[in-house]
A and B are shown apart, each in its own frame.
Chain A
Amino acid sequence: MNFSPGDAVMVKDDWPETRGPVHIRTPHYLRGHKGRVLRYLGDYPNPEDLAFARPAARRPLYHVTFPMSELWPEGTKDDDLVVEIYEHWLERP
């Protein structure tokens, strides 16, 4: 695994939906946004392959926390959102 708790990360601003049939669990509203790794959750088979019954490599999964105020106009200052995101969707900002 490439990231440790506390690392600043950015969700890739990538839209595979525009390139063909895919099944992506990374929420649209997080793409291109910065967050921080909270914890490593383990390695799990990639759902993007499982969804099509393809052999699925195990990928590191993290809890990533985002300040709500950076995602939504009505987000309050001390509010955070925690989302499970696979490593291949994260990069260093």
Chain B
Amino acid sequence: MEPHALTPFDREVDALRGVLGAKEIMTVDELRRGIEAIPESEYHRLTYYRRWIRSIADNLLRKGIVTEAELRAVLEEA
């Protein structure tokens, strides 16, 4: 992947990860586990921060912090 300037999306994902860490909801190790669990074909299609948000979503669903219905509703609004 070519180096590129951070997009507003990238910054938001980074900030979200920071908040989840500060509030002790999710560790960097959980983030890594989630990233490494992405199937290879999808992994290579996703940008760096899209891998992060995918792992964050997976972790928050797993922990019950957000429900699938809530996530779906927010995505449909966007």
Stretch at the interface among A48-56, A73-81, A83-91: A48-56
A-B CB contacts (within 8 Å), total count: 20
| B36 touches A (CB below 8 Å) | yes
**How many residues of chain A have a CB within 8 Å of chain B?**
6
CB pair B32–A23 under 8 Å, yes or no, is: yes
CB pair A23–B63 under 8 Å, yes or no, is: no
Complex interface: chain A residues within 8 A of B30 (CB): 50-53
CB pair B32–A51 under 8 Å, yes or no, is: yes
| A47 touches B (CB below 8 Å) | yes
State the B residues within 8 Å of A (CB).
26-27, 29-30, 32-33, 36, 63
Can you give 12 A-B contacts (C-beta < 8 A)?
A23-B29, A23-B32, A23-B36, A47-B29, A47-B32, A50-B29, A51-B27, A51-B30, A51-B33, A52-B30, A53-B26, A53-B27
